[in-house]
Structure 1
């Protein structure tokens, strides 16, 4: 158990979902900013992309309860949402630091949306 196993198992159990959330974000970023790596390298971009991807993912989890149950524990769901947000932002900006900001923004959104 614990977070170690959760992170280890995430890739095997959630790959298609992570792909879907990331492709959604990629399409959103492509429509908004154009080619890969052309989005501004700033906090506003990270916030925009992370918010869009995270809220879309949370809506999907709520629309499909079996998906919510399959991704056991909040840490796994938070990890998937954050990874999709970071991947989207990294591709859009070409900047790993901005992608990391999107990761953290997604974690905050997850906490505010589903936190206890």
Structure 2
């Protein structure tokens, strides 16, 4: 099993959800975040003493867990749908998951997804 984390611009959330829904109905976890990549974000000043401010852009982190055999095709579909070849398209992180357990039924691993 792999956890996929997609860090994207909020405007791309519906497109990402559409791609994920085509692969499964396993669910997602969404977190609002602030960050920057190569574009180095926007300058925001939080206090009067903070003359340089912090360069951050609003982002969304979307996480899901899928069986190993779905990872490559899901990643390819997301890149094809969300990619514009521009800075700010986002990132995908793939992490190993050792075990998954559905608390309600005690199902394990792929059955728990």
- The answer to whether TM tops 0.5 is no
- Compare relative contact order (CA 8 Å, sep 6+) and give the higher one, 1 or 2: 2
Bigger proportion of residues as strand: 2
TM-score calculated relative to the size of structure 2: 0.27
TM-score calculated relative to the size of structure 1: 0.27
